[in-house]
Structure formats: C-alpha cells, structure tokens
Structure 1
Amino acid sequence: MARSKALFYVVLLAAYGLFLGLGAWVFMLLERPCEEDVRRALSAAHDRFLAEHGCLTEAALEAFLGQVLDARALGVSVLRNATGGLHWDLVSSFFFVSTTLTTTGYGRPAPISAGGKAFCLLYLVFGVPFSLCLLSITCQNLLILIHDKPIRYLRLHFGFSNNVVTWLYAGVFIGLLTCLFLLIPACIFTLIEGSWSYLDALYFCFISLTTIGLGDYVPGEQADQRLPILYKLCTTGYLLIGLVAMILVLETLKRLFKLNHNLNIFLLTNGNDEGGKETEPLIPPFSEISVFPSKSEEKARRRLPHSLSPQSESLYGSVYAAHDS
C-alpha cells in the first residue's frame, strides 16, 4: 500500500511539472507577440525622436531614459513630479506596510535609503510571522462562527447529512465571497481609476487577494485622484479584509478535500498501519482518564446488586482464584 501511494505521489508531481510547463508555453504564445510589437514601436519612436532632434546625441538620450526608468522602478514618474504627491507620506507608508506585511508587495514604492532597507528587513522578520499568526487566528474564529455553527444547525434541525450540507454551504459561501470581494470591488475600481477596464480591475483584485502582487496595477497612482487619502485607506482596509476572506475560502476548500477520501491515495502512512486505518491507542489519552466516577456511573452502580457490581466481582473472583489454588 505504501509503495502504491508513493507511486501515486510521484505521478502527482509529474502532473504538476507538466502543468507548469503548459502554463509557461501558453504565456509565451500569448505574450511574446505583444512584446515584439512594443519593442518595434519603441525602437521606431527612438529613431524618429533622434532624427527630429539633431542636437541631441544618442548617448545623452540613453542616459536620460535610464535615469527615468530607474526612478520609475522606485515609484517616481517623471510625468507626475510637478503635480503628484510624495510616495512616502503617512498614508502611503501605511499602505506600503500593510501590503508588505501581508506578503502582497506591489514593489511601488520600495525603500531607497540604506536605513530604510535595514529597518524593512528587521521589521518584516517580526512583522510577517505576527501578521500571518493574527490572520490565522482570526480566520479560525470566523470559521467557528460562520462555517461550523451554521452547518451544525442545518444538520440538527433539517436532518441533512454532513457531506451534503458541507458541499452546499461551501458553494453558497464561496459564491458570496466571490461577489463581495472580487466582482463588486472590480466594478468600484473601474469607476474610480477610470483608465482601468473591468478585466483590469478584476485582475488586480485577484492578484492582490492571492498575495501575488505583480505591481503592474497599483491603486491611487493617478495625478488627479480625488480624495487620495480616503481612497488609500479604503483600499488598505479592502485588501486586509479580502485577505481574510481568501483564507476562509482556502480553509473551506481544505475541509471539502478532507471529505473526499480518494485523495488519501497520495498520502503515505506508517508501516504499522494496515490499509491506512488509524489504530486506537492501548492507553486512552490523559484527558479521557477519569479518576472519580461520574454521577451517572455512580447511580448505575448503586442500582446493581452487590454481587453484580464490578468491584465486588473482581474481589470475589480473586478470592475464588486463591481458594482454588
């Protein structure tokens, strides 16, 4: 049994490798033509700009463009310096801290100074585990309130089986969270950002809530943003609460997988176990050992005749055994 499960696990790893290769191949087919078009257009614009400005050398243009790209990588755009605000004010710093501690990390802005990089390292060493522990505890408490108790209520009052009510509740629960944290927020971001399409906004929401954070779309980067402070704070709250919702979805799926016994073929078991079945311990756990009998056991013992009580039976049995010997 253990060898067959190991073989199934190797097959699963091979399937995942093929899945990775398929994804890379599809992205190459979809994105490389667009990249080639952009490169050709940029090269033509570069040559046309030099032809129209004969007093500008190619080396000077390359140096200026390199400086602009370096500043852009740090979150500073040359098109916004005259009217845009600073990236390291209190609200923007709070947005950076929250997205970094939750491992989303858009990459804009990023620490520039040596002191900022050193503090970021020390801050994240303690902050990331603390944030993940807090999120885990919050999600476990929420699962008891909005997952376990409703399922138990439906089972007791309507007589549904555990599998049926768990699958139905998971479908409704995941669908509701999808609407509240993906579909509806995407509409809101589309209206506020203006330049984002609905697909762009939906892409941003999913990439952010899954803590991938590619950084190609960052909210509040427009120069004419209305109420930028309030917008940043609301976006930060959405990302934190949405991350909790995403963990709830993952925990719900995890519980569904536990109901599917077919997945046990990928799990290795101990050599002492037969057929993957758990063996009961010879000695019960300490929490199940009762030194004093409960009230119900005491009443039941008192109702029995003296000759049928367990203690008298063991005592008389020992006396008879001694007499026979």
Structure 2
Amino acid sequence: MVSRRPLFFFLLLLLSYVLYLVIGAFVFSTLEQPYEGLLREKVKDMWNEFLDDHPCLSVELLDDFLREVLFVKSFGVSVLKNISDLQVKWDFVSSLFFTGTTLTTIGYGHPFPISLSGKIFCLFYSIVGIPFTLSLLSITTKNLLFILRDKPIHVLHLQCNFSRNKLEWIHAGVLISLLSLLVFFIPAAIFNVIEENWGYVDALYFCFISLSTIGLGDYVPGEQGSQRMPALYKILVICYLFIGLIAVFLVVEILKKLLNCNRFFNLFLFGCDNSRRAEEMDCDLPHDSELPFVPKHDETTRRRVPHSGSPTEKSYGSINHSFS
C-alpha cells in the first residue's frame, strides 16, 4: 500500500513542475513574440520591395525559389555563392565535431545526417556511444571528486581547527567559483574575440547552453567562412566541451554531497518509509569489518577453553583421567 505522505509530496512536486513550465512559457511568449512580429514585418517589407524592383519576376517563382533555398539551408548547406565552396559540412574534422556533440547529447543539429544510411548508422552508433560517453564522464568525475574534494577536505580537517561541515562549504564555494571561471567566463571571453558576430553575453549563453547539454544550435562555433584554421579550432572546441562537461558533472556531485539530496528525494519516493527503516537498522548493526576478531565459539565454550598464557590453569573442558 502506498504511503500517503510520499504520494502527497510527489503530487506537490509534479504540480510545481507543471507550474514552472507554464511560467516559463508565459515569460518566453511575452519576451519573444513582439520581436517575432517585428521580423515578420521586416520580411514582408523586403518581399514587397524586391517585387517592386523586379516586376518581371512572378510571386510564384520567387516563392518556389525561396522554399528550395530554405530546404537546402536546413541541411546545413550554404547557398551563398561566394562561400559555398569553402564550407564543407562533412569533412573529417566537421564529422568529428558532429560525433562529439552527438555522443555528449549536446546535439546542435547542425549539421545532421542527410542520407538514409547515415541516419541508420547514427542510430546504432549513438545507442552504444552515448552510454559509453556518459560512463566515461561519470568515472572521470568520481576520480576527480576524490582528488579535488575528498582528499583536500580530509587533509584540511586534520590540520585546521574547523568542523568538517564548515570545511565542506568553504571548499565547495571556492571550487565551484574556480570551475565556473574556467569553463564559463574565460571561454566566453575567448569566443567573444574569435567569433565576430558574438557578443560576450552571446558567448556566455553558448557556453551554458552547450555544457548543460541543451544544445539549441542557434550559436555554433566555427561556422564563419573567414574562420582561421577552422579544423584546429573545432578540435579545440570539442576538447573544451568534454572538459566543461566533466566540470559540470563535478559541480553537480559536489552539490549533491553538500546538500545531502538523498534525504530530500526520499520524501517523494513510494515505500521510502520501509527503506528508511531498513537503512536505520543497517546503520545500528555493526558491520563485520567494524567488529574485532573473535574466535567462532559461544560464550560457554570460551569460558571452558584455557588461555594460552596460563599453562598451569586446569582445563575443565576435558575429562581428568587421574580420578578414574
């Protein structure tokens, strides 16, 4: 039978999430809809101006041409004549960038497989590759958590006159601030310099959207036709994404240990009362490794067996044949 308390908290959590979705949709609609209206008016004016300047061109032909152009553009192929020969979307480095962003579940969607065989291969490749990548990132995070968190806190706890809880909070604040600086703010400044059309806020937005594995694809590095050393640049971006994801995983693990999220999550789990009782009973009982070594004899047997250090003590555990 499901306990009422976890059910109540679960329904409250579900209602809170739905409310959070509704609030987000309302805010985005309020912010973006006016800008969308302005763009629609701008496109409409450009359309009318172009038709006025070219009266020999019919509306149907222009509409068909633009539809084909946008269709080709959706596959990541540039339609601009002066740079179409320079941007190859599926060379080796670009394909490496695609595999890296796909297996890390960032998925910018630019480019994406066009052929049927490419889509089938991407399916099976991702089935194996995504768990493999996430396992690698998780194992790396666990090792770094021991090196960067557990070991320093243990050493500081032995040397400093601070409580462990206080040391954990101080260490978490310093480490999270340092990681945020290294994977968000400094890379955003670098992207701001390299990418001509990105402001600093745009670059910071790209870093967060990428490392949170959202990957909207509105900002993709290395897509400029005048990009210097594009192959090296994309390889460095792949390295940054992997290092940044490890840093994000590390921050998540630090916060989980700091806030003790297991107790919080138990509030929403059905049957958590029984599991909590089992855990409490398990904690009360000492483990085998915590018990001192004792010979496997009962108390009566241990009293009857003489101690090896007392050779003169009589043994009452055997029959004395002198009385026979």
- Return the TM-score normalized by structure 2: 0.85
| 1:150-299 equivalence runs, <5 A | 150-258=152-260, 265-272=267-274, 278-280=280-282, 288=289, 294=293
- Call closer, same or farther: CA 1:85–1:271 in 2, change over 3 Å: closer
Match of 2:101 in 1: 99
Secondary structure of 1:95 counterpart: helix
Match of 1:52 in 2: 53
- Asked if residue 112 in structure 1 is aligned to residue 114 in structure 2, the reply is yes
Question: Match for 2:135 among 133, 136, 145?
Answer: 133
1:163–1:259: 8 Å Cα contact kept in structure 2? no
Secondary structure of 2:106 counterpart: coil
Q: Can you give the 5+ residue segments of structure 2 that lack an aligned partner in the other structure?
A: 307-315, 318-324
1:24 Cα offset (Å): 0.6
**CA–CA distance in structure 2, aligned partners of residues 255 and 203 of structure 1:** 27
The one-letter amino acid paired with 1:313 is R
The one-letter amino acid paired with 1:53 is H
1:273 Cα offset (Å): 6.2
Secondary structure of 1:151 counterpart: helix
Question: Match for 1:312 among 302, 314, 319?
Answer: 302
1:4 Cα offset (Å): 2.6
Match of 2:4 in 1: 3
The one-letter amino acid paired with 1:191 is V
1:66 Cα offset (Å): 1.1
Greater mean alpha carbon deviation, residues 4-13 or residues 33-42: 4-13
Match of 2:35 in 1: 34
1:60 Cα offset (Å): 1.1
- Call closer, same or farther: CA 1:142–1:314 in 2, change over 3 Å: farther
**CA–CA distance in structure 2, aligned partners of residues 95 and 258 of structure 1:** 37
**CA–CA distance in structure 2, aligned partners of residues 281 and 314 of structure 1:** 34
Greater mean alpha carbon deviation, residues 275-284 or residues 167-176: 275-284
**CA–CA distance in structure 1, aligned partners of residues 91 and 272 of structure 2:** 56
2:266–2:272: 8 Å Cα contact kept in structure 1? no
The one-letter amino acid paired with 1:240 is F
Greater mean alpha carbon deviation, residues 163-172 or residues 202-211: 163-172
**CA–CA distance in structure 2, aligned partners of residues 314 and 10 of structure 1:** 63
1:272 Cα offset (Å): 4.2
Cα distance per residue 1:235-275 (max 9 Å; x no partner): 11101111111111111111122179566544544454677
1:186 Cα offset (Å): 0.4
RMSD, aligned CA? 2.8
1:95–1:233: 8 Å Cα contact kept in structure 2? yes
Secondary structure of 1:108 counterpart: coil
Secondary structure of 2:280 counterpart: coil
Q: Percent identity?
A: 47
1:186–1:202: 8 Å Cα contact kept in structure 2? yes
Q: Can you give the 5+ residue segments of structure 1 that lack an aligned partner in the other structure?
A: 299-308, 321-325
- Call closer, same or farther: CA 1:77–1:165 in 2, change over 3 Å: same
Greater mean alpha carbon deviation, residues 135-144 or residues 250-259: 250-259
- Return the TM-score normalized by structure 1: 0.84
1:109 Cα offset (Å): 0.8
1:9 Cα offset (Å): 2.6
1:164 Cα offset (Å): 1.3
1:273–1:279: 8 Å Cα contact kept in structure 2? no
- Call closer, same or farther: CA 1:259–1:57 in 2, change over 3 Å: closer
Match of 2:322 in 1: none
**CA–CA distance in structure 1, aligned partners of residues 237 and 47 of structure 2:** 38
Secondary structure of 1:55 counterpart: coil
- Call closer, same or farther: CA 1:167–1:276 in 2, change over 3 Å: farther
Greater mean alpha carbon deviation, residues 238-247 or residues 78-87: 78-87
- Call closer, same or farther: CA 1:314–1:261 in 2, change over 3 Å: farther
1:163 Cα offset (Å): 1.8
